[in-house]
């Protein structure tokens, strides 16, 4: 049985929990179409996040890596299209690092596209009655750092690996302390992740044509 690696982040920015990890860890061991989910928690620290990802990939030997992160401004299940080669932190990470205008990978390409059928995922999640959208930017904090690093790992070491990233909103428990911020129940995130995994496994390579991808 092949593995699918799902990653979520530890809490950051003064929050007690991170719904990305709370949702992902619930799916650890879940089986879908002959594949098993392996969940892994990643530190919200520049550099260390990429080390943790590399170790998890080496151990799980997955065919798909789907990373999940939280962003307070997101209002839905946001499937990222592009990772950029830039660390530009508005706030320090959990180790106190705050890089400004630094590349994720020195001499790496300016950007990578997700290697997953992002529009098909969004359509399937919406069809299930859950809010979802394609996002054109993963920001420049540790989420984008991890997304770019995962794409770079694929490009350099694992060309057959399929990689993507999803941003999710605050949980309702967090949102009550941030008036006006959107939220999504962790159970709904779980449902959306299950749909995303199923869509990845059932969508053929023709998704690249449908989404204008020629690589």
Question: In the numeric block, which tokens belong to residue 169?
Answer: 């909103």
Q: Are strands 82-84 and 62-70 parallel, antiparallel or unpaired?
A: unpaired
Q: Give the DSSP H or E segment for 187.
A: helix 186-202
- CA dihedral sign, ordered 156, 90, 18, 41: positive
Q: Give the count of beta carbons closer than 10 Å to the beta carbon of residue 110.
A: 9
Conformation bin of residue 183: beta by default, left when phi > 0, alpha when psi is -120 to 50: beta
What is each CA distance from 137 to 2, 5, 85, 134, 165, in whole angstroms? 30, 22, 12, 9, 11
- The secondary structure of residue 10, as a DSSP letter, is P
Residues 137/113/197/67 CA torsion (nearest 10 deg): -60
143 is catalytic: yes
Per annotation, catalytic residue among 44, 67, 143, 151: 143
31 is catalytic: no
Question: In the numeric block, which tokens belong to residue 35?
Answer: 């594949």
Per annotation, catalytic residue among 35, 145, 152, 167: 167
- CA dihedral sign, ordered 92, 97, 102, 104: negative
Per annotation, catalytic residue among 35, 80, 145, 152: 80
Give catalytic residues, as residue numbers: 80, 143, 167
């Amino acid at each position: 049985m092949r593995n699918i690696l799902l990653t979520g982040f530890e809490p950051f920015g003064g929050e007690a929990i991170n719904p990305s990890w709370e949702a992902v860890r619930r799916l650890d061991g879940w089986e879908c179409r002959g594949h098993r989910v392996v969940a892994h928690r990643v530190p919200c620290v520049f550099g260390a996040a990429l080390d943790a990802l590399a170790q998890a990939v080496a151990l799980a030997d997955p065919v798909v890596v789907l990373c999940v992160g939280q962003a307070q401004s997101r209002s839905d299940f946001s499937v990222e299209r592009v990772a950029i080669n830039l660390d530009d932190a508005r706030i320090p990470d959990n180790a106190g690092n705050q890089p400004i205008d630094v590349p994720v990978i020195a001499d790496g390409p300016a950007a990578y596209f997700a290697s997953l059928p992002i529009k098909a995922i969004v359509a399937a999640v919406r069809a299930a009655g859950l809010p979802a959208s394609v996002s054109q930017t993963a920001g420049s904090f540790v989420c984008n750092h991890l997304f770019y690093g995962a794409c770079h790992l694929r490009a350099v070491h694992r060309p057959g690996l399929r990689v993507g990233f999803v941003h999710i909103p605050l949980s309702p428990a967090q949102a009550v302390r941030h008036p006006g911020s959107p939220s999504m129940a962790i159970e709904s995130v779980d449902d959306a992740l299950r749909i995303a995994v199923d869509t990845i496994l059932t969508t053929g390579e023709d998704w690249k044509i449908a989404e204008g991808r020629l690589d």
